[in-house]
Amino acid sequence: MKIGPNDILRFVLELFAFVSLGLWGFLAWPLPWPGVLIGIGAPVLAILVWALFRSPKAVFRLDPFGKAIIEIFVFGAAALAWWDLGQPIVAVVFAVVATASGVISGRRELS
């Protein structure tokens, strides 16, 4: 399969989502506990879910609808994390870019 610009964008969006969840855990919750636990646990959970269900070499194969649900869950959580941190512009821009990229990817996958 050929790697295109949207594939690269999607990879960057994934990394941004995982980092966003970690930042949210450390910044939105009191330290040391539960901030450290959530700061480490939230991105680990998101990475685990992504690896099991959404990655190109996923353990469990899902149809395009199932993949979209996982993607909405992870990217939506990252957008909500930015909103909770008081950064609504980052949240909205991330959500719009992730949605547009997901639609492009989904259309390509269904064709």
Q: What percent of the chain is modeled with pLDDT above 90?
A: 81
Query: Which tokens is 49 given?
Result: 């879910």
- Contact, 53 vs 60, CB < 8 A? yes
The length of the chain, given as a count of residues: 111
pLDDT digits (tens, 9 = 90+) for 4-35: 999 999 999 999 999 999 999 999 988 888 98
Average of per-residue pLDDT across 45-52: 97
* Structural domain span for residue 17: 5-110
- In tens, the pLDDT along 70-93 reads 999 999 999 999 999 999 999 999
Type of residue at 105: S
User: pTM of this prediction?
Assistant: 0.92
Provide the domain count of the chain. Answer: 1
pLDDT confidence tier of residue 1, bands split at 50, 70 and 90: low
